[in-house]
Amino acid sequence: MFWKDQRVLITGGGGFLGSFIRERIEREAPAQLFAPRALELDLRDVASVRDYLRAHQPTLVVHAAGTVGGIGANRSHPGLFFYENAVMGIHLIEESRLAGVEKFVCLGTVCAYPKFTPVPFREDDLWNGYPEETNAPYGIAKKSLLVQLHAYREEYGFRGIFLLPVNLYGPRDNFDPESSHVIPAMIRKFVEAKEKGLGEVVLWGDGSPTREFLYVEDAAEGVVTAAERYDKPDPVNLGRGEEISIRDLAKTIAHLTGFEGVIRWDTTKPNGQPRRMLDISRAEREFGFRAKTPFDQGLARTVDWYRENRRSDAAHKV
């Protein structure tokens, strides 16, 4: 019954995670669902945000929009990543409060955690140090929204929750080599190397860091479940609770793509954060969320989607 009378606004509804959240909410048949593109709602412009909220009067806001990218994009645009992620969220939270929005779901990032957080990352460790340098501006911008939600709950009774998804992957991801994250970047490199008959693929760092990855449909399920069942100020991790080294990840993707050449590690490039794996017990305890998609299965689906959509794109360009 939670969704029956909800007027839901999702920002970033045309993006990677946002599109899956939108489709998952559609299955709940809310009273109305708004998923504006940037031309219709510019979150960087407070007047645009105010006018949109007044016109559509949402009762629930899911803030999934963001300016994001991999290590290279974060290093190239630290100022842009800080400003846009901070200002979009700050405007939206403030104007949602003024417009009488009943509940606000804010998506943070695992990049907000300190560089040397003990593994597994527990939500209580979020403030115990500075984030890894290559993505600190992005992580701190997102973490500032948690402070805003805490302050607004205390002063205004504004019901905001803050979720911390781990690295996501899956169909519809960004495979642009200039801005993609590690899994889509590797998939593209290995697929293209296989097609061109190359004997070597070069990857960043030394392969030693570990990462945890969450399949995008599982992440969408976690967000929707939290929107319905969770209403506390404490941030909540969304993940699988398993880690894999970048070196082993590369071997797995090479196998899935059929690449049989040499993997060379460029150690002049940064590794990023040494380890990432979340403690996922709070999400399971508070609203019963646990990821379901096996990692190998999710990777295979992602490789298949990329190959199929590359063929479709090529056909459209002919």
Cα 33 from Cα 22, distance rounded (Å): 8
Closest listed residue to residue 295, CA positions, set 241, 223, 220:
241
What are 146-156's pLDDT values in tens digits?
Answer: 999 999 999 99
User: Any idea which fold 7-317 has?
Assistant: Rossmann fold (3.40.50)
Supply 248's token pair.
């082993």
What are 143-183's pLDDT values in tens digits?
Answer: 999 999 999 999 999 999 999 999 999 999 999 988 888 99
Region of 170 (left: φ > 0; alpha: ψ -120 to 50; beta: rest) is: left
Query: Would strands 103-107 and 160-165 be described as parallel, antiparallel, or unpaired?
Result: parallel
Instruction: Report the pLDDT value the prediction gives residue 273, as an integer from 0 to 100.
Output: 84
pLDDT interval class at 318 (50, 70, 90): very low
- Whether 316 has a pLDDT exceeding 80, the answer reads no
Q: At 149, give phi and psi (nearest 5°).
A: -65, -40
- Whether 317 has a pLDDT exceeding 90, the answer reads no
Cα 132 from Cα 138, distance rounded (Å): 10
- Whether 2 has a pLDDT exceeding 70, the answer reads yes
**Spatial contact of 137 and 81, defined as CB atoms under 8 Å apart:** yes
Instruction: Report the pLDDT value the prediction gives residue 152, as an integer from 0 to 100.
Output: 98
**Spatial contact of 71 and 135, defined as CB atoms under 8 Å apart:** yes
Cα 107 from Cα 22, distance rounded (Å): 14
Cα 255 from Cα 260, distance rounded (Å): 7
Q: Which amino acid is at 132?
A: E
**Spatial contact of 178 and 21, defined as CB atoms under 8 Å apart:** no
- Would you please indicate which residues are annotated as catalytic (active-site) residues? 138
Query: Would strands 200-204 and 7-11 be described as parallel, antiparallel, or unpaired?
Result: unpaired
**Spatial contact of 154 and 145, defined as CB atoms under 8 Å apart:** no
